[in-house]
Amino acid sequence: MRRFMDSIAPGRRRFTAAVLLFVLSLAAAGCGYTLNPGGKTRFSDPALRLDLSAFTNDSIEPDAGAYIASRLREELRRRGFRGSFQRSGADYLVEGKVREIPDDVFSHGSDRFALENRLTLTVEIRVVDARGGAVLWKEAGMSETASFFAGPDAQYTEGNRRAAFEETVRRMVLRMAQTIRLVL
């Protein structure tokens, strides 16, 4: 670094150093690092109580609502949530509804049977301040899609469908947790 700075004309060193510092700060921000002077956020406060119960399920997938809520709790913990998940005395309510999980034929094989299907998970979610009643975030029609292969064996097809469902839930939960962290 010193050789690089010595190779620059003396009048331009300060400008070059400022540009390098700016570029390094952008690179650090792109890697997920943030500057938090206090070190604590409301999200990581251990006294924070969040009511995040199983989502209402309007789909034909029997455990979809409970599965999504469970994965969302795990992802919130992974992102630094240190509070508790409890219904009584909650500071914030996270309410969700699984609207539908259709899977459509995406491509056909030479025998004109389904070769690849596409599964779409559609969810509604809202985060409410329990004390004031203000809606902090609401999104209807939040969706994720994943493809899966179909075959003549029903177990093969259903196993692939479940893997596609879990992948769509994983991606959706990442988006939800990121937004919830920003909102709180």
d(CA 25, CA 21): 6
pLDDT at 41 over 80: no
pLDDT at 20 over 80: no
pLDDT at 76 over 70: yes
How much helix, strand and coil, in percent to the nearest 5, is found in the chain?
40, 30, 30
pLDDT at 24 over 80: no
pLDDT category at 169 given cuts 50, 70, 90 is very high
Bigger pLDDT: 37 vs 68: 68
pLDDT of residue 9: 59
In percent, the amount of the chain with pLDDT more than 70 equals 78
Residue type, 131: R
pLDDT of residue 105: 86
pLDDT at 65 over 80: yes
Identify which of 92, 78, 122, 71 has the alpha carbon closest to the alpha carbon of residue 183: 92
pLDDT category at 2 given cuts 50, 70, 90 is low
* Superfamily in which the 42-183 domain is placed by CATH: Lipoprotein like domain (3.30.160.150)
For 159, how many CA atoms within 13 A lie in the half-sphere containing its CB?
A: 6
| Domain limits, the chain | 1-35, 42-183
pLDDT of residue 26: 64
Least confident residue range of 29-43, 71-85, 109-123, 149-163: 29-43
Which pair of tokens denotes residue 166? 């879990």
| First-to-last C-alpha distance (Å) of the chain | 41
Per-residue pLDDT tens over the stretch 78-114: 999 999 999 999 999 999 999 999 998 888 777 767 7
d(CA 50, CA 86): 6
Residue type, 1: M
Identify which of 121, 139, 48 has the alpha carbon closest to the alpha carbon of residue 91: 48
DSSP string, 94-145: EEEEEEE--EEEEEE-TTSSEEEEEEEEEEEEEEEETTT--EEEEEEEEEEE
pLDDT of residue 43: 85
